[in-house]
Structure 1
Amino acid sequence: MLVKKYNARLFLFLGLSSLLFMGNILVYRIQFIDPLAKESVYATLLDCLFVWPLLVYLFFLRKRRLSLRYASLTLLVGVGSATFIIPQSFKLEFPSIIRFCLSPVGFGLLLVLFICTYILLLFLKVQRIIRNEQNVPSMQFIRSMHAHETGGFHTMIALMTFYDLLFCSWKRHKRVQGKSYFSYHKKTSSMAFQAMLIHALVIESVGFHYVLISFHPMLAWLMLSLNSYTILYTLANIQAIRTQPITFDGKRLIIYKGLTSVITLPLSELESIERYNGPEQLPKSLRKRTFNAVLAEFTKEKPAFEMVLKKPHSVFQFIGKSSKVDRIHVTVDDDVRFYEQIQKAIENEKAG
């Protein structure tokens, strides 16, 4: 029922918006009023900068907290619409500053200014949260603690995590007393696999660039840029694996899979932990509900443990995405100590 109401509201909004914009376009394109009064430009500006933003507010923003971001974006779309609706000959009646803002160049500059301002505000918000948090194990952990935030917030956290791991985390983080840390890469070939991947990417980048540069220079530089980013991402992923071990403080379990994903699991939501004896390849239906925290290696290995959750919990991916899982597959280097601590904590939690 809610979906039907939302779809009806969306179609009504699109219909009214189409009538508003098409009416203004036809006024300037169809010569049924000749000559067209110069004052009609002000009517178009009124529709684009007041009536259409009012429609957006009434249909979508009325029941939520009005934010500067949504208001600015709505006005920017209105300015862009006026830029392309009003013919150049009618814009000559405006003062130079308004004429510049209604030009394609002016609209482009306003768009760039909006994007830069939005990114700066996101950065300052993330910085403020980082300063206020105490004993933060990683910036990926902050994402899981602020799951209600927007996708832009999570994307900013992901990018800051990427650059922090790449340039500022070559030393392991200090261990906090009272917490248990479990590495998950020392008894695997994951580091050798990552190094081989970087080696292959470097050779591929040089070879493709040499071949493509004479045929299609733009494509050659694009491929080089993408491969360079992949190499940097792989280096950051190695740093995440080295410096961010699985962390357990008695009440909360934080499981990382390098830079790619993280889950912060309260002990109260953990039903059981068992040695994994299931199939190597899970069915598709079960694979979607399972967080596989086992690192990629040359050969696919079974996980050491399977943890079953009492209810689905969110796993946060690198760029803003999240998914719900109800079981976790994990492998650690010190599997005996890991199993004993988690099992004991579960038993104590059930005993009350």
Structure 2
Amino acid sequence: MSPSVISKFPLLFFIAISLWWGFYYQSNSSLNDFGQANFEFLYLLDVFIVLPIICFLAVKNKKEALLKAITLCCLAVWVGSYIIPASSKFIWPYLESGRYVISALILLFELAAIVTVVLAIKTALDDKVDPDLAISQPIERFLGKSVVATVLNFETRMWTFALFAKRVKPDNYQGSKHFSYHQKDGSQSNLLGFVFLIALEMPLMHLLLHFAWSPLAANIVTILSLLSLVFFLAEYRAMAKRPISIDGDDLIIRYGLYQPLKVPLSNIKDIKGNDVFVAREKSIKRYVYSGVPNIKIVLAEPIGEVEKIFIGVDNPHSFIESIKHSL
């Protein structure tokens, strides 16, 4: 069984125990002695003993396993607050109060991302290194190459372009030749339209929900809208800053805030233009904002499950000629 499948066991176990114990606690039958055997420790044993053990057995990276165990246990506490009857809760009220601790941890996570942004930008400006490396290296040095590190990389990159885009220079990115994609089919202009739309809609939606529904719902929707605004603003700025590059024997595909994809030139079997719509498939990687991608790359050997890469660039003819020349 592949490691990627095994790593999903903790989540599957969490879903399974939540469904099973939810049915157990909410049923009124001989299964739970007609509601007299709704002991909370039954769910506690699975959540705080079995679940962490499965996390550490299924995930090789111990830091990632610990973070996954903490996350799933916190989710289980939230689920338990709903499925366990109030009359059977003795320890659970204390666990539920831990939501303030979880909120503090989330806040610390956000602050860590912002601090990393400042340090990464300072390093990029002082040493003129690739801004992506300036962000990823300190994170991966602490967390390793894990899912958590990838998420934090993305979030840090988002805050970088949302707050300090003017200080990021495209020339500092690795590569001898750079190619842009932000002008294709008005991609950047369309994204700016989304930014203005969210900014204009947010106060109106907040007032409507505040008076028509509840202040809590209004605050939640406004926070989510604000995060969406930050994302679209960062994406808008990153489009013109993060180029697709040829660096020695590699093609580095950067696209907005996407995680960069490095493709060895020797692994490119064929490259040509494209003018048709491309549907989503597991074997296809698409990089395009507007219209259809105008570049089709066929790989000699798959990268993971990806066999073909479709990209939308501003000057497809120049891009194809440069790749063929490098090949």
TM-score (norm 2): 0.64
- What letter corresponds to residue 287 of structure 2 in structure 1? A
Q: Superposition pairs for residues 197-236 of structure 1, below 5 Å? A: 197-218=194-215, 219-236=217-234
Q: Superposition pairs for residues 280-295 of structure 1, below 5 Å? A: 280-282=276-278, 284=279, 287-295=281-289
Instruction: Give the match for residue 28 of structure 2.
Output: none
- What letter corresponds to residue 169 of structure 1 in structure 2? A
Is it true that 1:167 corresponds to 2:163 in the alignment? yes
CA contact (8 A) 2:117 2:157 kept: no
Instruction: Give the match for residue 331 of structure 1.
Output: 312
- What letter corresponds to residue 213 of structure 1 in structure 2? H
Instruction: Give the match for residue 342 of structure 1.
Output: 323
Q: For residue 170 of structure 1, report the CA deviation from its aligned partner.
A: 1.7
Instruction: Give the match for residue 185 of structure 1.
Output: 182
CA contact (8 A) 2:154 2:258 kept: no
Instruction: Give the match for residue 305 of structure 1.
Output: 295
Q: Superposition pairs for residues 16-165 of structure 1, below 5 Å? A: 61=56, 64=60, 66-67=62-63, 69=67, 103-104=94-95, 107-108=98-99, 111=102, 135-138=129-132, 142=136, 149-165=145-161
Measure the CA separation in 1 of the matches of 2:103 and 2:161.
28
CA contact (8 A) 2:198 2:229 kept: yes
1:43-63 CA-partner distances (Å, limit 9, x unpaired):
x8xxx79x9866567655358
Aligned with 1:175: secondary structure? helix
CA contact (8 A) 2:117 2:156 kept: no
CA contact (8 A) 1:191 1:238 kept: yes
Measure the CA separation in 2 of the matches of 1:222 and 1:73.
21
Instruction: Give the match for residue 246 of structure 2.
Output: 248
Aligned with 2:251: secondary structure? strand
Q: If you compute each CA radius of gyration, which structure gives the higher value, 1 or 2?
A: 1
Instruction: Give the match for residue 36 of structure 1.
Output: none
Measure the CA separation in 1 of the matches of 2:284 and 2:70.
40
CA contact (8 A) 1:306 1:329 kept: yes
Measure the CA separation in 2 of the matches of 1:249 and 1:157.
21
Across the aligned residues of Structure 1 and Structure 2, the Cα RMSD in angstroms comes to 5.3
Instruction: Give the match for residue 275 of structure 1.
Output: 273
Q: For residue 189 of structure 1, report the CA deviation from its aligned partner.
A: 1.1
Instruction: Give the match for residue 29 of structure 2.
Output: none
Measure the CA separation in 1 of the matches of 2:281 and 2:47.
45
CA contact (8 A) 2:184 2:312 kept: no
- What letter corresponds to residue 185 of structure 2 in structure 1? T
Measure the CA separation in 1 of the matches of 2:104 and 2:67.
12
CA contact (8 A) 2:285 2:310 kept: yes
Q: For residue 181 of structure 1, report the CA deviation from its aligned partner.
A: 0.8
- What letter corresponds to residue 286 of structure 2 in structure 1? N
CA contact (8 A) 2:135 2:156 kept: no
Can you give the 5+ residue segments of structure 1 that lack an aligned partner in the other structure?
A: 32-43, 86-90, 92-98, 315-323, 347-352
Q: For residue 326 of structure 1, report the CA deviation from its aligned partner.
A: 1.5
- What letter corresponds to residue 320 of structure 2 in structure 1? Y
Q: For residue 76 of structure 1, report the CA deviation from its aligned partner.
A: 8.5
- Structure with the larger RCO, 1 or 2 (CA within 8 Å, 6+ apart): 1
Measure the CA separation in 2 of the matches of 1:190 and 1:116.
33
Are the structure 2 counterparts of residues 79 and 251 from structure 1 closer, same or farther at C-alpha, using a change threshold of 3 Å? same
Measure the CA separation in 2 of the matches of 1:203 and 1:187.
26
- What letter corresponds to residue 160 of structure 2 in structure 1? D
CA contact (8 A) 1:140 1:262 kept: no
Can you give the 5+ residue segments of structure 2 that lack an aligned partner in the other structure?
A: 26-31, 85-89
1:178-232 CA-partner distances (Å, limit 9, x unpaired):
6111111235311221222223323333443343332224233333333332222
- What letter corresponds to residue 315 of structure 2 in structure 1? D
Are the structure 2 counterparts of residues 30 and 292 from structure 1 closer, same or farther at C-alpha, using a change threshold of 3 Å? closer
- What letter corresponds to residue 255 of structure 1 in structure 2? I
Q: For residue 310 of structure 1, report the CA deviation from its aligned partner.
A: 1.9
TM-score (norm 1): 0.60
CA contact (8 A) 1:53 1:74 kept: no
Q: For residue 236 of structure 1, report the CA deviation from its aligned partner.
A: 0.5
Which structure's residues are more often helix, by fraction? 2
